Structure 1
Amino acid sequence: MFWLMLIAALIALALGGLALVLALPWFSRKMIENLLTRPMSDTLAELYVSMRSTPPIDFIYSSLRSNSGDVVIRPMGSARPVHGFDDLALVPAQLARKPALATEPVDLSVTLGKKCHKPVRCSMPLYISGMAYGLALTKEARLAMAQASGRSQIPINSGQGPFLDQERQLASHYVLQFGRWSWNRDPDILRQADMIEVQVGQGAQPGSAVIATPEGVGPEIKQLMHLAPDQAPIIHADLYLHDPKEPSTLAEVVEYLRSVVPGIPIAIKMGAGDDLEGDIDVALDAKVDVIVIDGTEGATGNAPITLSDHFGITSLMALSRALKHLHTTHTRDDVDLLISGGFREPGDFLKAYAMGADAVGLGTIAMFALAHYQITQSVPFYPPTDLVFYRSNPRIPLHVDKAALGLYHFLESCRKEMAIAIRTMGHTSVHDLSMSDLSALDPEIARITGCHYAGTPRDAKTHQPERG
């Protein structure tokens, strides 16, 4: 009986295949005829044209808006095409200049807040950007990040979330965000920071208020924020010291913080906008020690799409403009300059440093590194970020030690590649990098940044601008 059924099935498959082969030419001719003779609105050609004029991602956004009538939140940064660090190239040393030997050690260490009594000394010019516990990431993700950054001896930023004592113990360099919210204001918490970053905006969400839904934040987080069970965490639009209805100036906030935590660097974090120079002037007048600029590529877990996609300027343009303004106003030596937003590759870290940045912030790429060892537990049914994004009812718990190891390996790989690249440029220290180590692949980028345009010969006798 079994063999009869098997033979019958094979015969049926063979006949079906034969019918398909015979019908395929007719079907193809009929489909092409319909496409070329019937109105476009009656054929699949309309779908093709619609997808050309309305990309799939915009169709998804439209559907989400139509379904709920609410603001669409995207947990990543803007993917719109921008001028970025891919438009720059590093310059190798070969004959005209000699590369450094592979055996020569390379110094990657940097110091932030150099003029402060207690500066932050890092093993390389990288730091983990602010990604808040509870408002963006899980507790496990934050602890894994702290563990990896502590092992690699680079700073980790608390983000807008509540202070975690375990995180502080794991981190070697801890940057605490202070700003437009009511939590993390206890002087005992402030005194545990190696640097305090006053946050007025970020790349994907510059200067706007954020109100989380009470049910979207768990009881443990509300307890750390000193909020009632039915109270929503609010990040206000403006800085304040005592009452959110009575905004404070940046200078007042900086003066207060210096009185509580004397000697450590005070930073200002802002999204990059076209009023950049004016924003920098306010920061300089307030006498901050560090300016942190987040380009429009920067991501967050809470940004409405319009803020992420249609506000701000790119990290490359922001860095170039900030450096020019600091030099023009003769204030470059007064502050350290950090840049974040869209950085994922060691080559781009070095390009930013050669332009003049003192350190580069890592955000999205650090989350993917955390998820590496458990990624198969999420895909294909859930995105890798499901492992790290906070939800009151998490679907996939993150293993802290495995996540920390993935991020640590990523950071150490970047350390090794940066050392190789620096030797390839003929140097043995990251501090030797300058604008002469860069070339622009586009004449407009050359004009914006001041880098030499690679489409014309480089005159060895022409003085190239030094590092910013």
Structure 2
Amino acid sequence: MENEMRSANTEPLHKPLGSSRTFPHFEGLLFSPVQLVKKSLADDVPVDIETKIGPHARRPLKLSMPIMISAMGYGVALSKSFSIALARGTAMAGTAFNTGQGPVLKEHRDNAKFMVVQYHGAFWRPTVHQLGQADMIEIRLGQGANAGAGTVVKVTDLPPDVLADFLATTHEMVDKPLKELVVPPGIPEIRTQSDLRQLIHHLRLAGHGVPIAVKLAASNYLETEMEMALRAGADVIVIDGAQAGTHGSPAILVDDFGLPTLAALCRADDYLRLNRRRDHVSLVVSGRIRTPGDMLKALALGADAVYIASAALFATAHKQVLKPLPFEPPTQIAWVNGTHASDFSIDEGADSLARFLTSSSEELKSGIRALGKRSLREVDRSDLVAWDSEVARITGLPLV
């Protein structure tokens, strides 16, 4: 089918919402329940899942749960109303949303309780004022579904008011008609570790001491790139696995680049422990993390928090996906140029997302109680076994 689509067009085939390929993943793991060795806890026992990101930053990010909404940018992917619903829904649940590569809006700050501002290389990247409103700043060097490549948005795909939001904040003169809006690969001015150190210092000042994160597409250079980021002063490492989704990226980058999320997480955690940095930097992982079970397994393997995107997209859309159906895909309620974007209800979307996040956090607590524990910080690798031989090899966990 994909080759048939390539036969109809000369441009690279763009693929949304991640790869359909099967990689070793969290499904190959199971938690070990306790009965006599240790007792599970009753449903009314309080469980602490509060999360601190960037513990050594002057202003750590303190969340009600270890679940954040990953970068899904207004204009480069989502409609304005949908991005506002993400901000509002996360605020209702007590966690954070990420502005992504699109323009940072006043409405984002007005509706969010905790806002992660993503710093990228495009001319509309956040201003010093917008960085000063962030609760965490994330430097985007790569992403799982797009490798270390850039992003191109055709101006003809954007409504005029959305294009105006892109042009409202500029770092360079736009003196000729635009045909495309380009997010370049990485940050063009960052060529060395020293350059990255200077940028992190600048962002730390602009953000008044909030954590500075570096987002990497998981690759076989993972440990080397983590070391460079840590030496440059990063407070948080974000690892985006090969199964991560996106609004649209060349299919070859979606399917054939990167490291699987599970393998990347294990390597990242091993590296931090081996170098005695595990308590000094926060590790956030993303890439096809969809259920509370996925989340708790990632946290047990060493992540301090998880980012979710596709799961949050459909949770926010919830019953509103019925508006485009049956003649249009359900995502047409969410995309900036979606045929039914104007039909989206911010209030309904925010409520749906808040319910999903709250339900997921309560499910995490149920799993932690079943392990006989009272805090997320007590959950670790010893609570897991592998039933899949390849997953056992990757994680180093016992094969049942």
Give the TM bin, normalised by the shorter chain: over 0.9
Q: Identify the residue that residue 411 of structure 1 maps to in structure 2.
A: 357
Report the CA distance between 1:430 and its aligned residue: 0.8
Contact kept in structure 2, 1:240 and 1:253, CA below 8 Å: no
Report the CA distance between 1:223 and its aligned residue: 2.4
1:236-255 to 2 correspondences below 5 Å: 236-240=184-188, 249-255=195-201
Match for 1:387 among 310, 333, 351?
333
Match for 2:346 among 391, 400, 405?
400
1:262-411 to 2 correspondences below 5 Å: 262-391=208-337, 394=340, 397-411=343-357
Report the CA distance between 1:261 and its aligned residue: 2.2
Contact kept in structure 2, 1:239 and 1:250, CA below 8 Å: no
Match for 2:119 among 178, 181, 187?
178
Distance 1:389 1:294 in 2: 22
Three-state SS of the structure 2 residue aligned to 1:416 is: helix
Match for 2:395 among 449, 455, 464?
449
Contact kept in structure 1, 2:128 and 2:206, CA below 8 Å: yes
Distance 1:408 1:105 in 2: 21
AA aligned opposite 1:423: R
Distance 1:319 1:383 in 2: 32
Report the CA distance between 1:246 and its aligned residue: 11
AA aligned opposite 1:193: A
Pair 1:69–1:357, CA change in 2 (3 A):
same
Q: What is the percentage of aligned positions where both structures have the same residue?
A: 36
Contact kept in structure 2, 1:217 and 1:392, CA below 8 Å: no
Distance 1:358 1:221 in 2: 35
Q: Does 1:114 align with 2:60?
A: no
Distance 2:228 2:191 in 1: 21
Three-state SS of the structure 2 residue aligned to 1:343 is: coil
Pair 1:324–1:161, CA change in 2 (3 A):
same
Report the CA distance between 1:436 and its aligned residue: 1.1
Three-state SS of the structure 1 residue aligned to 2:7 is: helix
- Listed one character per residue, the Cα deviations across residues 26-69 of structure 1 (whole Å, up to 9, x for unaligned) are xxxxxxxxxxxxxxxxxxxxxxxxxxxxxxxxx2x112211121
Pair 1:443–1:393, CA change in 2 (3 A):
closer
AA aligned opposite 2:351: L
Pair 1:63–1:263, CA change in 2 (3 A):
same
Q: Which runs of 5+ in 2 are unaligned?
A: 168-173
Q: Identify the residue that residue 233 of structure 1 maps to in structure 2.
A: 181
Three-state SS of the structure 1 residue aligned to 2:90 is: helix
Higher fraction of helix = 1
Three-state SS of the structure 2 residue aligned to 1:111 is: strand
Structure number with greater Rg is 1
Match for 1:219 among 160, 169, 172?
160
Distance 1:441 1:139 in 2: 44
> For structure 1, which segment, 212-221 or 278-287, has the greater mean C-alpha deviation from structure 2 after superposition?
212-221
Residues paired across the two proteins, number: 393
Distance 1:446 1:389 in 2: 39
Report the CA distance between 1:186 and its aligned residue: 1.6
Q: Does 1:260 align with 2:203?
A: no
Pair 1:246–1:442, CA change in 2 (3 A):
closer
Three-state SS of the structure 1 residue aligned to 2:161 is: helix
Three-state SS of the structure 1 residue aligned to 2:215 is: strand
Distance 1:413 1:368 in 2: 15
AA aligned opposite 1:192: Q
AA aligned opposite 1:273: S
Q: Identify the residue that residue 70 of structure 1 maps to in structure 2.
A: 11
Q: Identify the residue that residue 379 of structure 2 maps to in structure 1.
A: 433
Report the CA distance between 1:238 and its aligned residue: 3.3
Across the aligned residues of Structure 1 and Structure 2, the Cα RMSD in angstroms comes to 1.9
Q: Does 1:134 align with 2:82?
A: no
Report the CA distance between 1:373 and its aligned residue: 2.2
TM-score (normalised: structure 2): 0.94
Distance 1:373 1:206 in 2: 32
Three-state SS of the structure 1 residue aligned to 2:197 is: helix
Pair 1:411–1:229, CA change in 2 (3 A):
farther
Q: Which runs of 5+ in 1 are unaligned?
A: 1-58, 456-468
Whose relative contact order is higher, 1 or 2, with alpha carbons under 8 Å and at least 6 apart? 2
Contact kept in structure 1, 2:265 and 2:303, CA below 8 Å: yes
Report the CA distance between 1:102 and its aligned residue: 1.7
Distance 1:349 1:213 in 2: 35
AA aligned opposite 2:178: D
